[in-house]
Structure 1
Amino acid sequence: MKARKATRSEDSLKAYFQQIKTTPLLSFEEELDLSRRIMQGDELAREKLIKANLRLVVKIAKAYASTDVSFLDIVQEGNLGLIKAASKYDYRRNVRFSTYAAWWIKQSIVRALSNKRRVIRLPHRKEEALKKIQKTYYTLTQRLQQKPTVDQVARELGMAAEEVGSLLNASSAIASLDSDENFESGTLMDMCEDYTYDPDSELIKKSMHEDTMRFLEHLMEKERQILLYRFSFYGGKKYTLKSIGERMGISPETVRQIEMRAIRKLREHADELREYVYQ
């Protein structure tokens, strides 16, 4: 039974690979032209851009191949990311579609694998904490020229070592940073790939910042300025209600009321940025 199922799966993969090979690749100029047409509502252009990049999904999916999830399932999850990327690709950024789409494809695959492999799905905040641990691990590895310990990572993040260890134990693929701790076997490198240098992620960060600024155009000037001060858009510093009031010549209470009014307005348009956020 298992042998027949494996054979059918392999045949399906071969048929899929043969099918996507028939679609020619696009030049950069063709990608930009399709983006223009997509932004004008041309669904045929969007479909063409997606079909021409199905091979990109397969290439990226190979890095996530495993025995516990079928490769075809991984590819299909990547295709969902590709579809999102095709809808959001903007020719005005003047970058190849593959560079832009890679982040969306990887995110779609990683989220799906995380949900399927994990016995208990972690809350969003813990997922974000695990990402910070991973990023700090690789940063310290480069700085120290050796693998950091749990204590070193915890100290860098300002977290308790027990909390870091608990989060690592909660993830399915890893448990510890070094062999001296009493966590399960494995290393942080098993959790996800090294993103310390990741051009597509940098592009997405830039895109998200640009989209956020356009998103804030729904607000009046004073509302927009207050949110920019409150949410660290100026030099990474979060300003207090009092300091903003002093800069703008209004009371802290007025600042608070304007901030709440602005947030209520933005909620009406939240879908514009929702896809950037880990669900």
Structure 2
Amino acid sequence: MTKNFSKKYATSSALLSPKATSATGTKDRENTNDIPEVTVLTSKPTETDDIFQMFLKDIAKNNLLTHAEEMELGKAIREGGKNAKLAKEKLVASNLRLVISIAKKYTGQGVLFMDLIQEGCLGLIRAAEKYDYRRGFKFSTYATWWIRQAMIRSIANTAKTIRIPVHMQDRIRQMKDIRETLAVKLGREASYEELGQEMKLSTSKIKEIIGAMNKESMSLDIAVGEDISLSDYIADEETITPEHITDRHMLRNDLMRFLNLLSKKERHVLLKRYGISNNGYRQTLGEVGKTLGYSKERVRQIENEALQKLRTHQQMNHLKEYLN
């Protein structure tokens, strides 16, 4: 939003600058020095109809950006300097329509529409700060993840639908890891007894933990949009950010491109062994061997040869940026 608009409505209590702290407070609000002059409505729409209409009209004054313009602004922001602040302000202001569009999808979830817009604007600002123009993707696509995350976290903090004790959350995390490990080792889902033996717990305790897992799943599956649930954004310290999702998508595309350097047989082994083409499930040497008619040792040899070929290929240096 422009500075003129901020000054125009500075006397109204219905407006709040992103520099202020909102009720829900998330980690993504750190490091927002020199944020653009974006003014966000926080009162009920019924009480601020005129102001809201002027807010929309002011947004309409900012033209949509072309992809080339987004790249240019993203470059200016990343390089810093005297133009960085203005570039970020323009990038944010030109995408405020996106915030309103997304906020409409999350109404009726216990958070006021104006509060959703406030959260979304903070997510948009964060997206502008994190945007890497060198990756080539559109800013609006990238920003959508940050905006949604901010809104859905606000909804989750308000609704408080997940009430599982901390000690049980630890057990659930342990259970998930062990179930996955045993499934790969056994080639099937582990029984209650096998889980109990691995975790050194009674069968009744295992059933209790699984019951809590189901309760957690039901809470997390509460819809907060047409195709979004809380589980898409609410997690513990391993929360996947929009930036990570974007990186993972691009990494997958790059990996598939590099796998084409291998023979059909080598590619098949790596895809199955690392779960790239099987919904994340990693097949054992024996399982891969059955599909190819090879022994476990032969599959291991093919896997090692394929990995060595990829490691020594010059183009594989391109993947190092994902490790930084």
Q: TM-score, normalised by structure 2?
A: 0.43
Higher relative contact order, chain-length normalized (CA < 8 Å, sep 6+): 2
Whose helix proportion is higher, 1 or 2?
1
TM-score, normalising length: structure 1: 0.49
